Structures are given as C-alpha cells and as structure tokens.
Copies of this chain bind each other. A is one copy, B any other.
Amino acid sequence: MDKTFDALLARMHELRDLGGVIGLASWDRETYLPTRAHEARSHQLSTLHGIQHERLVDPRLGELLAWASDAPRLTPDQRAMARVLTQERDRAVKLPRTLVKALAEAQSQGLQAWREAREERRFARFQHALSRLLALRREQADAYGHGGERYDALLDEYEPGMRVARLGPVLASLRDTLIRLVGALQAAPRQVPELFQGRRFDTEAQWRVSLRMLGDMGFELDSGRQDKSIHPFSSGLHPTDVRLTTDLDEHSLEGLFSTLHEGGHGLYEQGFQPAHHRTPLANAPSMGLHESQSRLWENLVGRGRPFWTHYFPLLRDAFSEGLTGVALDGFLAAINRVTPSFIRTAADEVTYNLHIVLRYELELLLIRDELPLDELPAAWNERMRRFLGITPPDDLQGVLQDIHWAWGEFGYFPTYALGNLYSASIYAAARRALPGLEEGIARGELRPLRDWLRDHVHAEGYRLPAEELVREVTGQGLTDVDFLAYLQSKFGALYGVTL
C-alpha cells in the first residue's frame, strides 16, 4: 500500500512542480521578459498547461485516486491530499476539449472586444463577445454539474464548497448595512480632507520602506522576493519561493498598502508546512481565504492606529518633504477616507464591498440568463445610484472598468468580499487569542500575529474547506458581524458618529 501511495505522491509532486514552473514563467512575463518574447512565452505556457492537463486527466492517476478514496490505512493528511486532487481532476475530466478550446478563443476575443469597447467608451462594442463567454460558461457549469444553480458550479472553482444559497443572504445583509453606513458617514458633521494631492514621495525610499515592512511582517526574503511590475501580484512557486510585485508611484503612497496586501498573500504561501510541500495540501482552500490574509495585513493591520504609531515616524524620516505638515492623526484619517467612487480598485474599506455586491448580483443574473445583455449598463448604473448615490459618466467608469468579465471570469468577484469578511473574523479571533496584540503592533512587533496566523491558518493548508477552517479558527463560519463591527467602530470614531 505504501508503494501505491508513493506512486500517487510522485504524481502529486510532478503536478506541483509543473505548477511552480508555470508560476515562474508567468511571473517572469510580468517582470523581466524581453518585450519581443511575449509570443514565445505564450507558446511555452500553453505547452506547460497542455502537459499539466494531460497529466491530470491521465487514467492511471484516476485509478490511483480511486484506490486512495477507500484505502484503509492512509493518514488523515494523505486522505486530504487525495481528496483535493480528486476534486481538481474531476473538474478537468468533465471539461470537454472542444469547450476548453472554444473558451480560450472566446477569452481572447473577449479581451480584444473589451479593449476596443474601452477605447470607444461604449459597452455595445463588447456585448457580442460577452454573450459568447456567458454561453460557454453556462455550458461549463453544466459540464461540471450543479443542483439547478449554474453559478454554484462556477463559484466552486474559486471558493470550493460555497453556494449561492449560503452566500446570497450574507451579501444582501452586508449590502443593506453598508448602504446605511455610507449614508451616515456622508452626513457626518466631521469630514476627512484629501491629503496627498500634489505631494511627492521618492520611489527609491518607498521601495526601502516596503522591504522593511515585509521583513518586519515576517515575510522571509530568503524564501521569496519583491520585484516591480505594472500590476502588483503575488505568486507562490513553492513555499520557499514566493514572489511579490509592486508598482510604486511617486505621487502616492498606495504602493505601501499594495506591498502589505501582497505580503499578506505571501505569508500564506510561505506558511504551508514542510510535510505538505509539493502536495495539493500546500494550497489555500479558497481564493476568499487567501484574500482574507492580504486584506488583514493591508487594512485591519495596515490602516490601523497601532501600525502607524510605530511606522509613521519612520515614514516621516523617509519622506520628510512629502509629509510636510502632516501628523499621525491627519495621516490616519487620510488613509481611511470614505468616498463613494466609480472605480472598484480605488475604493475605500466601507464602499469596496458594495462594488463587489453589485458585480455579484449582476453576474448571477447574467449566468441565470435573467438579464438581457443590452440592459447591463443600465442595471449597473442603477445599482451604483442605489448603493453609492453616484452615476458613472460613461461605461469606462462603469460596466467596462474591470477585466474579469472580458476574460470570462464569473464567480470570482465574491471572493473579494469573502476575503474582507473572513479577514475581520480572523483578526478578531487573533485579538482574543493574543492579549496585547495591538500594543505590540504599536511597538513594531508584527511577528506574533504572523506566527499565530501561520499556526492556525497557513499551516493547515487545504486540509479543510475554507468555511470549516474559519469556523475552527474563529468559532463561527461566514458572517458579516465582525466586519461590520470593525467598520462601525473604526469609521464611527474617525467621522465622529455612531454607526
């Protein structure tokens, strides 16, 4: 039996190694690839994906996994490894080759049409390609199988185990409370002025500060690195090789928050236990849980008073000119300013999830085929008015702003909201478990938090589905209670209102 599991393990190793190499080739494409090499890199990545797919659907792997599903003497971890890989393999097996090919073509056409539509600032230009993508995604959902709700099958790729029936009510409750909070904050007598306009922050100094923060967080720079790319991202090639990127802009300090965000993802990837390396357990159980770790460091920690009590003096040293006349209180207010705005990626902590709920509601309607596509921009704008009280001046600042749908990605957006909700619940649990946590943070001691997260979240890997793991860590599953309590306390104090 050991020998059979060894054969299965060897295939797991091979698949993870291929995944790591795909990660490397993708990271390199965004960082160091010569400009004329993009076509060659596409070919290389396509070849690697092809081999990975072929290995995954190999019937012999299916036999080994079938054996593992009722082999009596496996350890719990071995069982979990086999279970996770079985899920992944089942999805790959169920997807017909013709559909995979049609999707790849539709994605490419979708991107092209979306770019043209953006240039013309006109959704109609994108409508036909989007219609094709939606049809194929519905087909994909049917191929995977579902209990009547196609969206569940798509969501399951990013957030395994999550269902519309569970997610919908939580997001609806969150939406209603957030609309109320945004209104209350806008009506508050105390308002927060914009602070950063016209200031300049040397990008070399930002780079040094960002590396200092990563090191302080416990991101291990001998098992990872930070580079520059146009869009920041993180990529775990292996727990000893975790690559973050950042994009620094001399007119803004947002790059520092981006580093904290990617650093949070990076800590997750570095925190898988050695026994799980090169196996399917060295994975977060969901995108939402992964996002919880980036948002925890970016927002719960990184936009909080304890953190800046320690770092603001360092920041003043690094940007003495850029921060002229700015004190800690003003800085904290400015980095937490709440303003309804059109663009999701620039949204503050309070309004952000309304952008997500908007997309979730629309893509659920689209996948259900309950919203005619030519009504999509109007449906978008109507929700923007209802949720945030503003109307996009054009589709570029409305329905065309995100690349996700252009790429045919439906079911991904909710994971951003799940990340925010989970981040607050997990941070609340950390505060309960670690008395004096925030006093320590105010002294620059970030390691106790990292260590606690590593022990309770990261090292678990993919043993449990996301919500079960969250329940083990926090005592409860998905809820908006912790997140809303956090917003009410923090923004109530900042704006001088009771929320």
Using a CB–CB distance below 8 Å, which chain A residues touch chain B?
13-14, 17-18, 20-21, 24-25, 28, 32-37, 39-41, 43-44, 46-48, 50-51, 220-225, 227, 237-242, 277-278
Contacts and interface: CB of A to CB of B under 8 A. Distances in A.
14 contacts: A17-B44, A17-B48, A32-B225, A32-B227, A33-B241, A34-B222, A34-B223, A34-B225, A36-B241, A37-B237, A37-B241, A40-B238, A40-B240, A44-B238
A239 B241 CA distance: 28
Nearest to A44: B17
A223 B40 CA distance: 11
A15 to B, nearest CB: 9
Contact of A21 (B48, B224, B278): B48
A43 B13 contact: yes
A221 B34 contact: yes
Contacts of A43: 13, 17, 278
Given A238-B40, A241-B40, A47 B18 contact: yes
A50 to B, nearest CB: 8
Contacts of A50: 14
Contacts of A47: 13-14, 17-18, 21
A39 B274 CA distance: 12
B21 A25 contact: yes
Contacts of A277: 40
Contacts of A39: 240
Contacts of A48: 17, 21
The 5 closest A-B pairs by CB, nearest first: A37-B241, A40-B238, A17-B47, A37-B240, A36-B240
A222 to B, nearest CB: 5
A227 B227 CA distance: 14
A20 B278 CA distance: 23
Contacts of A224: 34
Given A43-B278, A47-B13, A47-B14, A241 B34 contact: yes
Contacts of A24: 24-25, 28, 44
Nearest to A18: B47
A240 B42 CA distance: 12
A91 to B, nearest CB: 22
